[in-house]
């Protein structure tokens, strides 16, 4: 994992390059697409969670009692519906006690801005850490809305986790939320007139859930 700045962390990994190539291909089936999303999400989550806070704990092995380490506080995965759901499983595998809170946002096709349709975060009692999950960071509109919601909830540490990112979305988050690091497998070239990432992979939600029509 290398950082273009202290804010953006782009994954440099041979396995990531391999699975990204399969993910992008128009010939990849929905089942294969979901598998590659899970694999790439796992590689990213390994990096995102590298420096989570821990505290000492006592562990009794078959031979003796030692001092180990355990995670501190509550951690939330926050997938942006619906595509973000494809990235949840690696987190629940690695952190079985993680809380999963959903935010429903869709992009208005005329304005390319997010429209909120689902938000069930409980009032008060925020988690210590929140990981916002969305396979594609394009304009940054949905990500910004999610981050703003989590900040109002009172989450002290927020990370953005996307498989593919566009410079435009990165720029928006970097400007508006300099305290929120971005973890991504790759930064692509640009957004086209329809605000899709180029070269990208098309619509991640449609490809995950096989709703291309």
Sequence-distant (6+) residues with CB within 8 A of 179 are: 158
Query: Catalytic: 188?
Result: no
β-bridge partners, 46: none
Query: Catalytic: 203?
Result: yes
Catalytic residue among 111, 116, 175, 211: 111
Catalytic residue among 24, 82, 107, 128: 107
Query: Catalytic: 206?
Result: yes
* Helices vs. strands in the chain: H and E counts, helices first: 6, 14
**Cβ pair 11, 183 in contact under 8 A:** yes
Sequence-distant (6+) residues with CB within 8 A of 4 are: 10, 187
User: At 143, is the secondary structure helix, strand, or coil?
Assistant: helix
Query: Catalytic: 53?
Result: no
Q: Tokens for 166?
A: 């566009």
Known catalytic residues are 107, 111, 203, 206
């Amino acid at each position: 994992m290398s950082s273009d700045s202290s804010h953006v962390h782009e994954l440099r990994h041979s396995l990531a390059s391999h699975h990204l190539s399969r993910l992008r291909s128009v010939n990849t089936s929905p089942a294969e697409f979901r598998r590659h999303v899970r694999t790439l999400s796992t590689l990213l989550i390994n990096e995102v969670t590298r420096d989570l806070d821990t505290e000492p704990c006592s562990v009794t092995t078959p031979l003796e009692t030692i001092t180990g380490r355990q995670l501190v506080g509550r951690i939330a995965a926050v997938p942006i519906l619906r595509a973000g759901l494809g990235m949840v499983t690696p987190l629940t595998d690695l952190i079985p006690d993680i809380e999963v809170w959903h935010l429903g946002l869709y992009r208005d096709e005329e304005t390319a801005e997010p429209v909120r349709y689902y938000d069930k975060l409980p009032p008060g009692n925020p988690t210590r850490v929140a990981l916002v999950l969305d396979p594609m960071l394009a304009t940054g509109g949905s990500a910004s809305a999610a981050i703003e919601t989590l900040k109002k909830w009172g989450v002290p540490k927020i990370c953005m986790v996307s498989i593919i990112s566009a410079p435009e979305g990165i720029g928006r988050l970097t400007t508006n939320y300099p305290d929120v690091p971005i973890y991504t497998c790759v930064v692509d070239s640009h957004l086209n007139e329809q605000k899709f990432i180029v070269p990208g992979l098309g619509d991640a939600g449609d490809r995950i859930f096989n709703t291309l029509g």
